[in-house]
Structure 1
Amino acid sequence: MLVLEYKVKGKQHQYNAIDDAIRTTQFIRNKALRYWMDAPRELKIDKFALNKYSTELRSCFPFAAELNSMAVQSAAERGWSAISRFYENCQSKKSGKRGFPKFQKDCRSVEYKTSGWKLHKTKRRITFTDKKGIGELKLLGKWDIQFSELKDIKRVRLIRRADGYYAQFCVGIDVVDIQPKTDEEIGLDVGIESFYTDSNGHQEPNPQFLRKAEKSIKHSQRRIYKKAKGSSGRRKARKLYAKKHLKVSRQWIEHAKKLARNVCKSNDLVAYVREACAKRIDLRVSNMVKNHCLAKSISDASWYLFKQWIEYFAVKFDKVAIAVAPHYSSQKCSDCGGIVKKSLSTRTHKCSCGCELHRDTNAAINILNLAKNRGGHPQINATGVETTTLLGEPARSWGFPP
């Protein structure tokens, strides 16, 4: 599956029509969720029942009937996606919160399937044919979609972001780029001091995008509260604040994507730490950020993005990515296998066998050894998506890898 994203250019009334379509999508999704909540237990509510209910909503609400019928179905499917995820978490007996579906208040996209839109023969313009009045929009970006057949485009999504509106095309083709074998293997240990340390001793510096932009972000945030509520000045200040956060998130994605691509391209086997395991559930990134002393640094490191891109490129390049359990990876000596207890502040591993390494290098070697001994589990990125680079914009994805 390939996802191509382009910035769209239109007039203000067209942007207002897109916003109206997005609000309708949110309405349909929330009504489907309420229908599931209020249904009696003996009545089985599944994806098809919600699709049927969305058809009834189109007959009851004129503004819902203005939206394309398949777009209405996509909105109902979003509600079912939240419900099915909750069911899966309950069946797997997930600890903690299991994600009971909530009503959405900040929907930012509307999704069309194979109808409701028409691509111009030059593939540089797209026209939305439903009754919302979006009309024809100009597409800005690289023209990778020129190589795709119209029948391969499965879905089109319009997205509102802080810096404008975007169109995503989901193309039903396999993304494969088999790279030549290098006979190289590498173990990776992510951290805060350096973005990652590999088993060869290389330490990739941490760019700290959020830390560098923090002063500017706080300044723009203070400007919001100096403006009167409901004023145009306050709206402009909020838009500027959102743009700064959007820039940081794009920097995270591009950085993680670039490094993961280089690592997977130059190595046949990539070993890294599994995010969570049965015995040490506290090693989830979502749990580690609860530490108020390290939360900002952990979030700024974007480990989760990096791991997801590694899994994606490993599948694309026909390489092997193995996630291993993190138990004692820092305490265990990579030379003799003995346990050397050390606190987090101790950055050098010194063993009685004479082995002296940087703590993270020792951990990366242990991670690689575990993977070579098949102590890990091969990871597959099920999303299988990729995007082109926009004109003046960083690459995006249909979900994650983001």
Structure 2
Amino acid sequence: MKLTYKFRLYPTKDQEKKLLHALDRCRFVYNKLLEELNKQEKIDRKILQHLIVELKEKYKELKEVYSKVLQYEHYRLFSNLRALARLKKNGKKVGKLRFKGKGWFKTFTYNQSGFKLIETNKRLDLLHLSKIGNIKIRIHRAVKGKIKQITIKHCSSKKWYACITAEVKEKITKSSNSKKVGIDLGLIDFIYDSDGNKIKHPKILDKSLKKLTKEQRRLSRKKKKSKNKKKQRIKVARVYERTVNQRNDFLHKLSRCYVKGYGFIALEKLNIKGMVKNRYLSKSIVDASWSKFIQLIQYKAENAGVEVIKIDPKNTTINCSNCKSKVYKKLYNRIHKCKCGLEIDRDYNSAINILNIGQGLSKFTPVEIEPLRELTKVPTSSVVEAGSSLR
């Protein structure tokens, strides 16, 4: 099992120049390999592999970059080709690989060697990168397992990050937790589960929209190709980055709470690509990041030995969780009222149905419920908080 950790780097001005130089040289090698690939009638990996050696002899500045970093661009190129082939196989319309211009190349990778983490007694540790030096790094959590590779990333906000991939050899045992839960995802309440808990939607994008609009207007007024325009572009990127970080923090902590609290989790298998086509709800759906939340629950659950089932959401809102009869209602009707006497929130009813189907009990024994049960409301502030200890 492989895990990836993301840590902030704090390079000096001299180190940043070396990092930018390495990034640009990797872009140069990638473009040269792609140029040679386009000339070939039949793809020959060996010819392209040898081309890197020829380029190093012709362009002496390439020797200033660690050799395996340049070799990784060969792997990156063919990895991109395989991704295009998969898309084409799935019936998608694909074009050719494009050359990378300045600003479109964000990462380079140290694979297997050329790096070392150095622990210090100070607030910041050190990351040694061959041909660059010892860079200050904030290790905010322990790295488990053997480090296989380190990817250096340069963001639009001009911040540097190290993405450390480590291989962990641990036997995953099934969770002893017998508690089960069904989760209904929504836009009004982010989550409503079968235990009656609901988490309010944090609406992170809406909260940062005022600041984002202000900075974007300032950007549009700056003169083209001026230094002020570049500075303002960084400010806009940092607002976006903060929004993404806040959303990820919320999703990580919430997913961790469910994985720790339950041994079985049932989720909806949503067609999010189709739902985003609704122009009235698309912004709210994207801000909710349901796909990201489901992805986080799945990988955390896999590591913790928790079973996760994804079910078809068809009729989960319509069917009564008590008597299984169909109760049709419009979107604005938030209460599920059935002839059997059950009167509960429609999302709560849906969450119970999701759990029933997930257990394979939808046609047999329903989950025990109490009509007119007083639901537990969980405020967003209890999930979104400083730090990242729950990740």
Aligned counterpart, 2:3: 2
Give a deviation string over 1:208-239, Cα, whole Å, max 9, x none: 11100100011011111222222222222111
Q: 2:79 aligns with which of 78, 81, 88?
A: 81
Is 1:326 paired with 2:321?
no
Unaligned runs of 5+ in 1: 276-282, 376-391, 398-402
Look up the equivalent residue of 1:315 and give its one-letter code.
Answer: E
Q: Measured at CA, do residues 164 and 344 of structure 1 come closer, stay the same or move farther in structure 2, by a change above 3 Å?
A: same
Give the alignment of 1:3-402 within 5 angstroms. 3-40=4-41, 43-45=42-44, 50-91=48-89, 93-94=90-91, 96-97=92-93, 101-105=97-101, 106-120=104-118, 122=120, 124-130=125-131, 134-142=132-140, 144-145=142-143, 152-161=146-155, 162=157, 164-174=159-169, 181-275=176-270, 283=271, 285-373=272-360
How large is the Cα RMSD of the aligned pairs?
A: 2.9
Corresponding letter in the other structure for 1:173: V
Residue 111 of structure 2 aligns with an amino acid whose one-letter code is K
Which residue of 1 is the match for residue 369 of structure 2? none
CA distances 1:115-136 after superposition (whole Å, capped 9, x unpaired): 3334447593233333xxx333
Q: TM-score scaled by structure 2? A: 0.82
The TM-score, its normalising length taken from structure 1, stands at 0.80
How many Å separate the matches in 1 of 2:206 and 2:171? 36
The residue type paired with residue 115 of structure 1 is S
Q: Specify whether residues 257 and 174 from structure 1 end up closer, same or farther in structure 2 by C-alpha distance, changes over 3 A only.
A: farther
State the distance in 1 between where 2:34 and 2:330 align: 48
Counterpart CA distance in 2 for 1:371 and 1:306 is: 18
Deviations 1:104-152 (A, max 9, x none): 442211111133334447593233333xxx333122233624x76xxx2
Q: Where does structure 2 lack aligned partners over 5 or more consecutive residues?
A: 363-385
CA distance in 1, matches of 2:135, 2:356: 53
Kept in 2: contact 1:175–1:316 (CA 8 A): no
Distance 1:30 1:345, change over 3 A: farther
Residue 273 of structure 1 and its aligned partner are, at CA, apart by 1.1
Report the CA distance between 1:251 and its aligned residue. Answer: 1.0
**Does the CA contact (< 8 Å) of 2:153 and 2:160 recur in 1?**
yes
Q: C-alpha distance in 1, partners of 2:200/2:119?
A: 46
Aligned partners of 1:51 and 1:77 also within 8 Å: no
Change in CA separation of 1:325 and 1:35 when aligned onto 2, cut-off 3 Å:
farther
How far apart are 1:288 and its partner, in Å? 2.2
Equivalent pair of 2:253/2:388 in contact (CA under 8 Å): no
Query: How many pairs does the alignment contain?
Result: 361
Change (3 A) 1:179 1:61: same
Residue 60 of structure 1: how far off its partner (Å)? 4.3
Superposed displacement of residue 45, structure 1: 4.8
Query: Following TM superposition, by how much is the alpha carbon of 1:339 offset from its aligned partner in structure 2, in angstroms?
Result: 2.6
CA 1:195–1:65: 2 relative to 1, 3 Å: same
Q: Report 1 or 2 for greater relative contact order, CA contacts < 8 Å, sequence distance ≥ 6.
A: 1
Question: Which of the two has higher C-alpha Rg?
Answer: 2
Query: What is the identity, as a one-letter code, of the residue corresponding to 1:259?
Result: L
- Are the aligned partners of 1:22 and 1:108 in contact in 2 as well (CA < 8 Å)? yes
**Does structure 2 retain, via aligned residues, the 8 Å contact 1:50–1:77?**
no
Distance 1:110 1:236 in 2: 24
